[in-house]
Each structure stands twice: as structure tokens, then as C-alpha cells.
Amino acid sequence: MNQQGIEETTLLTILLVTLIIIIYLTWMVRYKAKAKERLLIIEKDYDLNKFLEKKESSFPWIKVGIVFTSGCIGFLIGSIIEVFSLTTASVDASELERFANSSPKKKLIGDGTLTLLLMYIFAGIAMIFSKKITKDK
């Protein structure tokens, strides 16, 4: 329980329901506005096909997708390397106890640094790759 006496799960449920309601209302307002706009276009006798043409998105979704996907691949590879290096490392119990009792700066390879490093490297490579893809168009 927190200071107000609400349990964490209850608070999380309230926040989740509120978020769902906000998303639904946003969608509904946008849908109603589009419907009204189409009715006005029909009433004014404008060419409806001109307004319904697909506009090309100005936001580069393909670049974002490539960067996120390759970042996740880098994260996955880094995690796998760290897990295998921890399980196959020949560390005896005295060394583990010494590392556990030492300062937080001295950790084994499993502190997540390699995972983040590989994630950023893969994301950077993906940015270069996505730049070349969109430049060719």
C-alpha cells in the first residue's frame, strides 16, 4: 500500500482503464470529424475522389522500424552472449563471493554493458542502412 492506502494493482488497473478510455475517445473524435468533413464535401458538391486520395506519410516509418528492429536484434545478441559467457565462465565460489562483496563498480560481464553496446551499434548500423535505402528512392 502506498501513502493514500491504494494497492499497487488497483492503481495500475485504474491507470490502464483510464488510458484505454482516452485512446477510445481520441479515436472516436477523429472518426466523427472525418465523417462530418465527408458530409460537408458531399453537400458542397466537391469531387470526393480528390480528398480521399491516399496521402504519402511524411513520417519515415520504414526508418523507425529498421532502427527498432535492429536495436532489438542487437539487444538479443548481447543478452545471449552475456548469458552464455556467465554460464560457461570458469569461476569458482571464492571469486564469486569476492565480486559479490566488492564495490558495485566491479561486476562480472553480466552487468548489461555489452548488451547495451551491441544494441546501440546495431541501431547505428540500421540508421546508415535506412538512409541508403531511402536515398535510392
| Count of the separate structural domains present in the chain | 2
The tens digit of pLDDT for each residue in 27-57 reads 999 999 988 988 888 888 877 676 666 666 6
Higher-pLDDT residue of 40, 84: 40
Does 2 fall in a domain?
no
Residue 112's pLDDT is 73
The tens digit of pLDDT for each residue in 93-110 reads 565 566 556 555 444 455
Question: 117 and 71, same structural domain?
Answer: yes
End-to-end CA distance of the chain: 56
CA dihedral sign, ordered 77, 83, 84, 85: positive
- What's the domain range around 43? 8-52
